[in-house]
Amino acid sequence: MGKNKLKKFAEMKEFACVLEYPRERLVSEGFPYKGSWSNDFFKADRPLVLELGCGKGEYTVGLAKSDPTRSFVGVDVKGARIWRGAKTVEEEKITNAGFLRAEIENIDNFFVPGEVEELWITFPDPQMQKTRKRLTSTRFLSLYSRFLRPGGVVNLKTDSPFLYEYTRRLVELNGFETLALTDDLYGSGREDASTAIKTFYEAQWLSRGKTIKLISFRLPAMPEGGFLEPREDDIPKDDYRALCRPNPM
């Protein structure tokens, strides 16, 4: 591990806005803020919003700045990435943003039922070959339903045509209430303060002429038998994913 990463990890341990609970620590210690994020972590009674796979934290920070009436938590397992957003929160003394370093597969262990109002999933890997790892798959929707209030909002912002179409079909198949649906966000006139935030990766894809897609829907309580998984064998695969991604560090 390079000296720069070691320095970032050491600095993050001093950041009050960061909680680090990888699987091993979660199993051995549990999580002290489960059910008490508002009272004990943010110390303010505000609705709670998560960004999953937050990367460098641009979206979490941007959302917090644009809406002081809610609290925002960015979740990612990559500590060296979270460092950038966390440092901004510390330096600018942003009181309604924090970061959780943890595996998203364990996300339901950090919140009690109904504790979270809204989710943002921003530019995740579309996982075209691995449905179970897709952050909008029925596997993950089932996890989210354990802590998202019934009717809570899930937002997907993506550059992937495949993930957009897969999620659109899933939403339609399950009869979820759709709040926003566009395959060209910036050409649709739908842009607002929350969707106008551009991440590092988003800027890269926009510079290559790719359009940004947005789906927002309400996730109901999980029905008996679970959510329905759509067919995907006829969804065209993204043909530009082979391009080298820029280094996010």
Q: What pLDDT, in 10s, does the model give residues 61-111?
A: 999 999 999 999 999 998 888 999 999 999 999 999 999 999 999 999 999
Q: Please give the order of strands across the beta sheet that includes 18-20.
A: 18-20, 97-101, 71-76, 48-52, 116-122, 148-158, 213-219, 178-182
- The tens digit of pLDDT for each residue in 182-199 reads 999 998 887 788 888 888
Is residue 247's pLDDT more than 60?
no
Beta carbons within 8 Å of 167's beta carbon, 6+ residues apart: 136, 156, 158, 215
Provide the annotated active-site residues: 125
What mean pLDDT comes out for the span 15-28? 95
The type of residue at 192 is D
Helix (H, G, I), strand (E, B) or coil at 106: helix
- DSSP-assigned letter for residue 153: E
Task: Please give the Cα distance from 14 to 157 (Å, whole number).
Answer: 31
Percent of the chain with pLDDT over 70: 94
Percent of the chain with pLDDT over 90: 78
What's the pLDDT band for 240 if we cut at 50, 70, 90? low
Beta carbons within 8 Å of 224's beta carbon, 6+ residues apart: none
Closest-CA residue to 113 (of 79, 152, 164): 152
The reported pTM is 0.92
Task: Please give the Cα distance from 145 to 205 (Å, whole number).
Answer: 31
What mean pLDDT comes out for the span 8-27? 92
Task: Please give the Cα distance from 110 to 130 (Å, whole number).
Answer: 25
Helix (H, G, I), strand (E, B) or coil at 141: helix
Rg for the chain, CA atoms, rounded: 18
Give just the sign of the alpha carbon dihedral 34, 144, 28, 86. negative
What's the pLDDT band for 206 if we cut at 50, 70, 90? confident
What's the pLDDT band for 22 if we cut at 50, 70, 90? very high
Task: Please give the Cα distance from 99 to 76 (Å, whole number).
Answer: 8
